[in-house]
Structure 1
Amino acid sequence: MAQIIKFTYPTGKIFIGVCFNAGEDDFSAFNWPKFRAELATLPVYQRVDYTIRRQVLWEDDEVSSDELFQRWQDIVSDNNADDPETGYNMPSDNLKAVCNPDGWRFGVDGCRAGWFYIGSQGPDIKYGIVRTIAELFDRFKNIAEVIIDIPIGLYDKGAQARSCDMLARKALKPRGSTVFPAPVRPCLYADSYEEACRISERLTGKKLSQQAYNIFAKIREVDELLQSDVSLRTVIREAHPELGFCKLNGGNPLLTKKKSSDGIAERLVLLKRYLEWAPQLYEEATSQYARQVLAKDDIVDAMMCLCIAQAPEREKETVPAPVIHDGQGIEMAMHIFSPSQQTGD
């Protein structure tokens, strides 16, 4: 079932979005900065307690992605939703991928050479390394979803931890330390670990771990990409592989370390239930790439992310639910695959 939906906000302006195949409402074309700025001009009583009206304008059980996209464009135009005076719609060519359930779906994990990806589109499976996430979009067209193991959505200041980090650590006890606390955004631009700690202490009252600092460049890369291209915010989404494996293991955290031989083997057993080719691809990738380029656990983590990306929509969940957004309108949530029925080995 595909739907085109009209949202009416307390500012009096509208937004036209879509909902495809009983998934989430898509807001990739929503002008979040403009809405937040205009909401701030309303009286306090309207800012703190307001209702958004959701109206289904059109729906169809059998519509192609191209037809849905064209119908969405027509309805946006008919309602003047892309006129800044009346609406919050922005151009969103990437909505074509959102409308298309047959687009490429990727699991991605950072590696020493950049980013290791595994993608599926129907029976086609591709894997490789790209230097940047933007390069993945240059290499593949019609990308429907990218699930990536990196913090997405950050606070700009304050000592509060992201809800997704706290909930993931709780779910993973006694392995909760595998979830690194996400930094506040200004720390990403420090020139050294010492400077990052000073910034963090000034803005949050807390210092940073060296492990967390080591992935700052990758966090910054994804954060800047999502700030510059709003349409990618419903395509690139965060996951934590250990939380993903916990869900596939009936809600029980894996106690083996993911870098150990036993840990790799345990995780491949779980993955094979949903990606039958997982052990074979793991052997191929470990043979193709040297360890100084790609670690073994990077391959397994990327496969876990792909498992989430290609899961049925009805079996996808977020931590927390509903999703929280940061000050830039970027979601702060981990996506998970919660199978309705656990399969055997």
Structure 2
Amino acid sequence: MKQVFKMTYPTGKIYIGFCSGEGEDDLSAFNWPKFRAELATLPVHQRVDYTIRRQVIWEDERVSSDELFQCWQETVSAYNACDPDTGYNLPSDKVEARCNTDGWRLGVDGCRAGWFYIGSQGPDIKYGVVRTIAELFDSFKSITEVIIDIPIGLYDEGAQARRCDPLARKALKPRGSTVFPAPVRPCLYTDSYEEACRISEQLTGKKLSQQAYNIFAKIREVDELLQRDVSLRSVIHEAHPELGFCMLNGGSPLLTKKKNSDGLAERLALLKRHLEWAPRLYDEATNQYPRQALAKDDIVDAMMCLCIATAPERERVTVPDPVIHDGKGIEMAMHIFSPS
């Protein structure tokens, strides 16, 4: 059900928000700094124990996204919620600027047919398969962020590991083996696993796993794209889905395997807390694409990446923090959603 609602806070002020019916209440126009500052002025007993009242002002399950947004704007105006003496809604000019610049956010995972993506722009959801990452930018008019399950940012030589890899393995213990060591860049341009191992051993003193080698083509594709187009370095970011699920699970790694039915069910249950439509889209995608093109766990991993892409900024974290960059200026960090 699509709704416009009013929240009343212990300070006596209000916020007008909306819910698309596909996820959580939208609080993106909330003036968080002002609320925190005013909350701090209340007596201690009110700051540590308070209730927020949520009232539905209007609802309709059949309206379009534009109609929902228009109704929300009208309600903000009717309640004068942008007035700092009345509410916590950001001024309308800032909201308009955000709405005009905030494009699609996508979660992407590699699959046998190329790349599986799930995109979100407000209440609108799209998913599909593209052959190359570059095709995403032809398919969507405006993309704000892409969270992708692939190593981004590589050393050109040396035995040092990317800092994010051992940190992720430590957080996922005893499932740390799900994090493959990222290769050094020259290995991506070899013609065989044996040659890649030889180059890796020559440059780092270590060989490569067959599993890591199997995704070299996709690592190379993203790396070359980021080298060609510097502007995309602030758009395309790396994530590791198992680390993402660990954070959704309160910091405890999932011990089930994502390719098994119980593992898929556990991950979908965690996703549903933040993406209400996750089980439905999972069923649709599994019915639409054959397994030889798209595996079931590819769908779940892309959802996890989208969950990170759409997370509130205050609950986004990088591993490591601060971010480290490689010799070409490309960041080497995993992005995660750490629910408060």
Classify the TM-score, shorter chain.
0.7 to 0.9
Q: Which runs of 4+ in 1 moved over 6 A?
A: 65-68
Give the aligned partner of residue 228 of structure 1. Answer: 228
Give the aligned partner of residue 317 of structure 2. Answer: 317
Secondary structure at the aligned position of 2:169 is classed as helix
Q: For the Cα contact (< 8 Å) 1:65–1:100, is it kept in 2?
A: no
Measure the CA separation in 2 of the matches of 1:244 and 1:124.
Answer: 23
- Asked if 1:296 corresponds to 2:296, the answer is yes
Secondary structure at the aligned position of 1:208 is classed as coil
Task: Identify if the C-alpha distance between structure 1 residues 287 and 66 changes in structure 2 by more than 3 Å, giving closer, same or farther.
Answer: same
Letter in 2 for 1:116: F
- Asked if 1:270 corresponds to 2:246, the answer is no
Task: Identify if the C-alpha distance between structure 1 residues 126 and 160 changes in structure 2 by more than 3 Å, giving closer, same or farther.
Answer: same
Q: Percent identity?
A: 83
Give the aligned partner of residue 128 of structure 2. Answer: 128
Describe the superposition over 1:288-310 as per-residue Cα deviations: whole angstroms up to 9, x where unpaired: 00000000000000000000000
Task: Identify if the C-alpha distance between structure 1 residues 196 and 63 changes in structure 2 by more than 3 Å, giving closer, same or farther.
Answer: farther
Task: Identify if the C-alpha distance between structure 1 residues 61 and 287 changes in structure 2 by more than 3 Å, giving closer, same or farther.
Answer: same
Describe the superposition over 1:130-153 as per-residue Cα deviations: whole angstroms up to 9, x where unpaired: 000000000001100000000000
Measure the CA separation in 1 of the matches of 2:179 and 2:270.
Answer: 20
Measure the CA separation in 2 of the matches of 1:287 and 1:150.
Answer: 25
Letter in 2 for 1:179: V
Secondary structure at the aligned position of 1:174 is classed as coil
Q: For the Cα contact (< 8 Å) 1:105–1:120, is it kept in 2?
A: yes
Letter in 2 for 1:299: I
Measure the CA separation in 1 of the matches of 2:323 and 2:160.
Answer: 16
Measure the CA separation in 1 of the matches of 2:191 and 2:174.
Answer: 34
Measure the CA separation in 2 of the matches of 1:67 and 1:174.
Answer: 45
Secondary structure at the aligned position of 1:267 is classed as helix
Secondary structure at the aligned position of 2:206 is classed as coil
Measure the CA separation in 2 of the matches of 1:225 and 1:202.
Answer: 26
Flag the structure with larger Rg: 2
Tell me by how many angstroms 1:170 deviates: 0.1
- Asked if 1:242 corresponds to 2:245, the answer is no
Describe the superposition over 1:94-114 as per-residue Cα deviations: whole angstroms up to 9, x where unpaired: xxx9x823x100000000000
Taking structure 2 as the reference length, the TM-score comes to: 0.72
Q: How many pairs were matched up?
A: 254
Measure the CA separation in 1 of the matches of 2:124 and 2:290.
Answer: 25
RMSD: 2.0
| Structure 1: segments with no counterpart, 5+ residues | 1-20, 23-59, 69-96, 341-345
Measure the CA separation in 2 of the matches of 1:61 and 1:133.
Answer: 36
Tell me by how many angstroms 1:62 deviates: 5.8
Measure the CA separation in 2 of the matches of 1:136 and 1:63.
Answer: 30
Give the aligned partner of residue 40 of structure 1. Answer: none
Secondary structure at the aligned position of 2:150 is classed as coil
Secondary structure at the aligned position of 2:119 is classed as strand
Tell me by how many angstroms 1:208 deviates: 0.3
Give the aligned partner of residue 280 of structure 1. Answer: 280
Measure the CA separation in 1 of the matches of 2:282 and 2:178.
Answer: 22
Measure the CA separation in 2 of the matches of 1:203 and 1:178.
Answer: 24
Measure the CA separation in 2 of the matches of 1:335 and 1:296.
Answer: 23
Matches within 5 A, 1:1-345: 63=93, 100-101=101-102, 103-340=103-340
Task: Identify if the C-alpha distance between structure 1 residues 249 and 225 changes in structure 2 by more than 3 Å, giving closer, same or farther.
Answer: same
Describe the superposition over 1:189-242 as per-residue Cα deviations: whole angstroms up to 9, x where unpaired: 000001100100000000000000000000000000000000000100000000
Describe the superposition over 1:309-345 as per-residue Cα deviations: whole angstroms up to 9, x where unpaired: 00000100000000000000000000000011xxxxx
